[in-house]
Structure 1
């Protein structure tokens, strides 16, 4: 144990390339129809769908003071 060089790890060239690619990704990004569509879906469509579901289901469920066999839906 004494005298050993700890923390000496050979760098894997594939991991080094991957790290460089991730670091410099913004330099090579281009807006294409595919990237525009993906951005639209994740920025606008998904939050809009979650908001719609939240508004339509608001007040329909009541979890307070329920016993076994009681329904959670408000009438």
Structure 2
């Protein structure tokens, strides 16, 4: 099994928190699922995971608010 790099995981969690207000544990990601996204930079991985699992980006709430 692939070892998850600590630095990559910290950056991934930061991106997940920024984009979706959750981290990998909130998303229910285990080591196997994290390894599926490790081939990309952390922020790209966070966006790819969000797209794959239909997560709503935090900035989409701001754009909705501006429309009201």
TM-score, structure 1 normalization: 0.24
Q: Which is higher, the Rg of structure 1 or of structure 2?
A: 1
* Structure with the higher fraction of residues in helix conformation: 2
TM-score, structure 2 normalization: 0.25
